[in-house]
Amino acid sequence: MKNTLKSLIFISLFFTIACNKSEPSYDNVVKMVDKVSIEQSAITADEVHQMLSENPELVIIDIREPGEYSPGAIPGSINIPRGLLEFKIADAKFWKSKAKVSPNKEDEIVIICRKGHRSILAAKTLYLMGYKHVKYVKGGFKSWEINYPNEQIKSEESGNELWSEAGC
C-alpha cells in the first residue's frame, strides 16, 4: 500500500510538472521580437538579391499593408498583409490570382516588412504552421531601398480584395 501511494504521488507530480509547460509571456513587443528573432533565420537584402538572381521564382511575401507596399516593393514579391498571412498562405485561389503557385511546406520563403520587426513574428507564425524554410529580411524593405533603389516595383493594388475574401 505504501509503495502504491508513493507511485501515485510520483506519477501525479510528474504529470503536473510535464503538463504545466506554459507559453512564455512578454512585457512588451520589443522583448517578444528580440526573443523570436533569435529563433528565426535572418538574411540581408544583399542575400535576397543574390537568391533572386539564382531563382527568380523565389517566394517573397511582403507583409506590409497595401498602402506601404504600393509605393515600392521587391520585384516578384507578393503582398499579403500580416493580418491575413495565416488565411492566404495556403489559399490556392489567392495564389492563382497572382499567377503563382501556393508555396508548400518545404519551399524557401522570404518574409519582408518595412523595418524587419513584423517579418520576424510572421516568420515564426509560418514556422508554427509547418513551413520549414522561412527567413526574414533583416532591416526590411528599408534595407532593400537603400541597397537597390532602382530595383523596385510599384503597385496600384488597393488591398481591399484581400480583406473581402479573407473570411475573417
Question: In DSSP terms, which residues pair with 153 in a beta bridge?
Answer: 73
Q: Are strands 108-112 and 133-137 parallel, antiparallel or unpaired?
A: parallel
Contact indicator for 131, 122 with CB cutoff of 8 Å: no
Using alpha carbons, list the distances in angstroms from residue 112 to 51, 81, 131.
Answer: 14, 10, 16
C-alpha cell recorded at residue 65 = 499593408
Query: What are the residue numbers of the active site?
Result: 113
Q: Which phi and psi (to 5°) does residue 136 adopt?
A: -115, 155
